[in-house]
């Protein structure tokens, strides 16, 4: 499914899905603004080992090399000369630090619960699809009060290939018994958007942290600031009208 990122894409991309069966969500940066916590954990732990000659990595480095990627890829990018097990151990320790931070501070993206109610009220199927480790994903989903909302949680490392490959989204559709022709995705990273598009679904790109240009280049149908964005609700209302006609 090819969707051009123009101003008319939201309406056309959603109405052609009627009747909608499922809505799929990424977790980090899509359900909650967790990237600042990931960035803080990586920055502090890399500083401790003298990475980058002791100069703290900046946010641009984080977005380019870390955000939205699977941990195996992150380990290879950060530590190309390290033994793989040692690199993975570092990333695992970082995830433990992240979970400690999350347990104290985690905020939903504005309007998230309003959108979840819209999805529930229409009896749509729903899945969380993430490159985060399962422990992280389930902790964040629980802290956001969405454990009962999601019928399926698919983790990239438990698939043959993680995002940006379509495998996690295809697995979610299979488990939900839903089709790509009647489902859509919310994502915030280029990696995740590529995965959703490759799985054959239109993707809503959230401009939480990543550059708008990279989201559009990855194939986002259109961009929204958060779940209160009028563009989103205009699209959902248009979809409602088509489904009821």
pTM: 0.89
Q: Is 26 a catalytic residue?
A: yes
Instruction: Please tell me which residue in 6, 28, 33, 58 is annotated as part of the active site.
Output: 28
Mean of pLDDT values over 69-84? 95
Q: pLDDT band at residue 13, thresholds of 50, 70 and 90?
A: low
The residues facing 203 across adjacent strands are 185
The question of whether 28 is a catalytic residue gets the answer: yes
* Distance of alpha carbon 71 from alpha carbon 42, whole angstroms: 12
Residues with Cβ within 8 Å of 42's Cβ and at least 6 positions away in sequence, in order, are 57, 62, 66, 94
Q: 46: pLDDT confidence band, cut at 50, 70 and 90?
A: very high
Tens of pLDDT, residue by residue over 87-120, are 999 999 999 999 999 988 899 999 999 999 999 9
pLDDT tens per residue, range 128-156: 999 999 999 999 999 999 999 999 999 99
The domain made up of 9-33+107-244 has a fold known as Rossmann fold (3.40.50)
- Of the pLDDT bands very low, low, confident and very high (cuts 50, 70, 90), residue 196 is very high
Q: Identify the CA nearest to 240 among candidates 22, 21, 15.
A: 15
**pLDDT of residue 2 exceeding 80:** no
Query: What's the DSSP call for residue 199?
Result: T
Indicate the pairing of strand 203-206 with strand 222-224. Answer: parallel
Q: What is the mean pLDDT of the chain?
A: 93
**Domain spans of the chain, in order of start:** 9-33+107-244, 35-102
Select which of 6, 26, 33, 121 is catalytic. 26
For residue 156, what is the DSSP state? G
């Amino acid at each position: 499914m090819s969707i051009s990122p123009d101003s008319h894409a939201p309406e056309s991309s959603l109405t052609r899905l009627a009747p909608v069966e499922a809505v799929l969500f990424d977790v980090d940066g899509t359900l909650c603004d967790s990237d600042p916590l990931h960035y803080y954990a990586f920055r502090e732990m890399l500083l401790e080992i003298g990475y980058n000659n002791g100069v703290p990595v900046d946010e641009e480095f984080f977005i380019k090399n870390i955000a939205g990627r699977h941990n195996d890829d992150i380990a290879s990018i950060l530590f190309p000369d390290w033994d793989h097990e040692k690199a993975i151990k570092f990333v695992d320790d970082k995830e433990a630090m992240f979970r400690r931070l999350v347990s104290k501070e985690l905020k939903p993206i504005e309007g998230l619960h309003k959108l979840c109610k819209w999805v529930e009220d229409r009896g749509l199927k729903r899945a969380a699809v993430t490159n985060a480790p399962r422990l992280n994903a389930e902790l964040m989903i629980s802290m956001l009060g969405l454990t009962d909302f999601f019928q399926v949680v698919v983790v990239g490392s438990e698939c043959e290939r993680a995002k940006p490959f379509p495998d996690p989204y295809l697995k979610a559709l299979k488990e939900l018994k839903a089709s790509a022709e009647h489902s859509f995705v919310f994502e915030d990273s280029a990696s995740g958007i590529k995965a959703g598009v490759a799985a054959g679904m239109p993707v809503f790109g959230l401009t939480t942290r990543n550059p708008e240009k990279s989201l559009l280049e990855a194939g986002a149908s259109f961009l929204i600031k958060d779940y209160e964005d009028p563009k989103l609700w205009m699209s959902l209302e248009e979809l409602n009208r088509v489904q009821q006609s």
